Chains A and B, each alone.
Chain A
C-alpha cells in the first residue's frame, strides 16, 4: 500500500538518481561485508549497506550485543578505513553529477 504518492513519473526518476546512481562496490578489508559507496567530494561519503553486509560486519555484531543507547549508531571504523583505501586506490570516483 502506497503512502506518500508522487504525482509524476519524473519524481520516481529523481528518487532513483538520488538513491541508486553511481554507487560503487567496496569490500571491507577485515570481514566479508560488501557495501556500496558514493563520494560527491573529498569530504562527502554515502554508504549503502544491505542486510547481508550488516550481519557480516563483526564490529556491528559485537555492538548489537551491548544494551542500546547513544553510541550504537556510529560507523564501523574498519569499514571506513577500507573505503579510504579504495578511494586512494582510485576505485571510487570522487565528484558529483548535478547534485547527485
Chain B
C-alpha cells in the first residue's frame, strides 16, 4: 500500500456519441460535386442533388466498396466511380445502369441532415434511432443577415486525443489563466438535460501578449452552451476600451476515430453601427485569428497530455466529474441513461483567492520585465 496517487487512464469508448454533429458550412457543399468528410470511424460522402437537397451517406459503395467521394453527382444521386451504382440521399440504390434490377437489400448507411444557421448538421446514433429534431441547436436571430459578418469557418485535425478533452474545458476555470492568459473573474456552470453551459467573465493579462481572450484593455463576457455532445454556441461580448463588440463563436467537432477528431470553428460578428463593410470584415478577421490562436493553445496541451479518468481536484476547480457524468449520456444506449446524467446541476466557482494569487504573480512578472528592460542598455 502506498500514498502515491495513481493516474487512471481508463479506456476510451468504442462507440461514437449520439446527437447532432456539424459537418461545416452548407454553402461549401453546394457545388454539385461530392465531398469527403472523415467521421465516425469512416469516410462520409456529402453532396447536393439537382433538387437542392444536401445528402450524407457512408462514403463506401455497398457493391464492391468503391469510394463514392470520388464519384459523380448525377441528378439527385451519387454515382460510384467503380461501377456507377447510383445512390439516393435516402440510402437506397436507385439505379444500376448495366443491370435489369436493383437488389432489394441495396441500402447503405445514411445520415439525416438539417441546415441550421447556415451549417450542415447530421444525426448520428449507434442505435439507429430517427433524428431528434427537438434537441437541435437554436436558430440564431439575424445571423446570416446583413447585420452580421458572414461566417468565417475553419477546421483543425486533432490526433491522439479523445474529443472529451475538448468538452472538459467547459468546467475548467484555471486553464483560462495559464493556457489562454486571461483572469477569469466570474465562472459558473449549468448542466441541464442535453445542454451544458459555461458562464464566464474575464480580463486579459497585462504580462502576456494575449491571444483569444485579449489583453489588459479588454474584458469579455461569455456564455457558451453545448447543445448535445459536439455543437457549442458561444455568445461573446468583448469590451475593448469601452467599445463593445458582439461575437458569436461556433465550436464544434466530428469524432473521426477512437482518439482523433476534426475541430471546426466559425465566427460571425455583429456589425457595429457606423462602421463600413471593410472595417467590419477587418474586425471579424482579427477575432477569427485570435480565437483560432486560442484553440491552438489548447491543442498544444492535448497533444502532450494523457487521458485521466480520475482527475484530482482542488477547491478552486470546476465540476469536471459532473460534466463528464453529463457527457456520458451520449455514449450509452437511450435505455441506459441514468437520471443523474441529465438532472440539472449548477456550480459557481470561487474565483476570489485564485485571482488574488494570479494578480500577485502578474505584478511580479511585470516588475521582472521592467527590471530587465532597465538593465538592458547597460549590457548593450
Q: With A and B bound together, what is the CA distance between A42 and B348 in angstroms?
A: 11
Once the chains bind, are B346 and A47 in contact (CB under 8 Å)?
Answer: yes
CB < 8 Å: which of A40, A47, A67 contacts B315? A40
Bitwise, B1-44 to A at CB < 8 A (1) or not (0) is: 00000101111110100000000000000000000000000000
Q: With A and B bound together, what is the CA distance between A7 and B8 in angstroms?
A: 6
Bitwise, B153-188 to A at CB < 8 A (1) or not (0) is: 000000000001000000000000000000000000
Bitwise, A13-48 to B at CB < 8 A (1) or not (0) is: 011001100000000000000000000111111111
CB < 8 Å: which of B197, B313, B315, B343 contacts A41? B315
Binds A, one of B74-82, B101-109, B286-294, B327-335: B327-335
Once the chains bind, are A50 and B349 in contact (CB under 8 Å)?
Answer: no
Q: With A and B bound together, what is the CA distance between A2 and B338 in angstroms?
A: 12
Chain A, Cβ-Cβ closest to B6: A8
Bitwise, B301-322 to A at CB < 8 A (1) or not (0) is: 0000000011011110101011
Chain A, Cβ-Cβ closest to B333: A1
Give the size category of B's interface with A. 35 or more
Once the chains bind, are A6 and B319 in contact (CB under 8 Å)?
Answer: no
Once the chains bind, are B192 and A45 in contact (CB under 8 Å)?
Answer: no
Minimum C-beta distance from A99 to chain B (A): 5
Bitwise, B330-352 to A at CB < 8 A (1) or not (0) is: 01110010011011111111111
CB < 8 Å: which of A1, A6, A18, A44 contacts B10? A6
Does residue B48 face the partner (Cβ distance < 8 Å to A)?
A: no
Residues on B with C-beta less than 8 A from A73 are 190, 192, 195, 197, 225
Does residue A70 face the partner (Cβ distance < 8 Å to B)?
A: yes
Chain B, Cβ-Cβ closest to A2: B332
Q: With A and B bound together, what is the CA distance between A74 and B9 in angstroms?
A: 34
Residues on B with C-beta less than 8 A from A5 are 10-11, 309
Q: With A and B bound together, what is the CA distance between A8 and B310 in angstroms?
A: 9
Residues on B with C-beta less than 8 A from A6 are 8, 10, 309-310
Known: A1-B333, A46-B345, A46-B347. Is A19-B15 also a contact (CB below 8 A)? no
Residues on B with C-beta less than 8 A from A48 are 343, 345
Minimum C-beta distance from A87 to chain B (A): 13
Does residue B235 face the partner (Cβ distance < 8 Å to A)?
A: yes
- Considering only residues 175-212 of chain B, those with a C-beta below 8 Å from chain A are 190, 192, 195, 197
Q: With A and B bound together, what is the CA distance between A47 and B351 in angstroms?
A: 17
Once the chains bind, are A70 and B322 in contact (CB under 8 Å)?
Answer: no
Q: With A and B bound together, what is the CA distance between A8 and B308 in angstroms?
A: 12
Does residue A78 face the partner (Cβ distance < 8 Å to B)?
A: no
Chain B, Cβ-Cβ closest to A18: B321
CB < 8 Å: which of B9, B15, B195 contacts A3? B15
Q: With A and B bound together, what is the CA distance between A41 and B270 in angstroms?
A: 39
Known: A7-B11, A7-B309, A70-B235. Is A19-B340 also a contact (CB below 8 A)? yes
Residues on A with C-beta less than 8 A from B349 are 44
Residues on A with C-beta less than 8 A from B346 are 45-47, 49, 75
Residues on A with C-beta less than 8 A from B339 are 50-51
Does residue A90 face the partner (Cβ distance < 8 Å to B)?
A: no
Once the chains bind, are A45 and B348 in contact (CB under 8 Å)?
Answer: yes
Once the chains bind, are A4 and B138 in contact (CB under 8 Å)?
Answer: no
Once the chains bind, are B352 and A43 in contact (CB under 8 Å)?
Answer: yes
Chain B, Cβ-Cβ closest to A80: B346
Q: With A and B bound together, what is the CA distance between A41 and B233 in angstroms?
A: 31
Does residue B223 face the partner (Cβ distance < 8 Å to A)?
A: yes
Q: With A and B bound together, what is the CA distance between A90 and B110 in angstroms?
A: 58
Residues on B with C-beta less than 8 A from A19 are 321-322, 325, 340
Q: Please, could you name 5 A-B residue pairs with CB atoms under 8 Å apart, sorted by A?
A: A6-B10, A10-B310, A48-B343, A54-B344, A68-B138
Give me the interface of A with B, judged by CB distance under 8 Å.
Answer: 1-8, 10-11, 14-15, 18-19, 40-51, 54, 67-70, 73-75, 96, 99-100
Known: A7-B9, A8-B309, A19-B325. 7 other contacts (CB 8 A): A3-B15, A3-B328, A4-B13, A4-B309, A4-B331, A6-B309, A43-B348
